[in-house]
Amino acid sequence: MDPIIDDIDKKIMQLLQHNARMPISQISKEISMSQPSVKERIIKLEEKKIISEYCTVFNLRDLDRGTTTFILIKTEHCQELVDFCKEAREVTDLFRISGEFNYLLKVQTASIEELAEFQDSLVQLGPSKSHISMKNILENRILL
């Protein structure tokens, strides 16, 4: 049985994870492989859904959304919460979790005051606890 990915695939993935816009010509040089071979491997990784998307990471502080808060919420209105979060520009991530609370939201706001307004609109869905991030230590961590 062939492994899903080999060491060459991992090297390609590492390079793309550091810079998703890296040209195939540069990847080719970095791993000492022909450009057509690199392109073929990337296409196969995409077809297998190992590479599922390419994205841009924004500096949220410069976009006036630098206050990061994690909110635990306990609700019986699960679909309402999901719909609410999809519409709320403050919510960047939503996780279904186990334990006393059943959802974890990651929220980006410009200020504590904006966070308070957001929480006031969230209260209708159930009790919550907020944890304001004081410092970002690891985020969007390189996995390979």
Taking only the tens place, the pLDDT of each residue in 80-94 is 999 999 999 999 999
pLDDT at 101 exceeding the cut of 80? yes
- C-alpha–C-alpha distance, residues 115 and 71, integer Å: 10
Work out the mean pLDDT of the chain and round it to a whole number.
93
Is the pTM of the predicted complex or chain greater than 0.85? no
> How far is it between the farthest Cα atoms of the chain?
58
Q: What is the pLDDT of residues 28-59, one digit of tens each?
A: 999 999 999 999 999 999 999 999 999 888 88
Which of the 8 DSSP states describes residue 49?
T
- Model confidence at 114: pLDDT above 50: yes
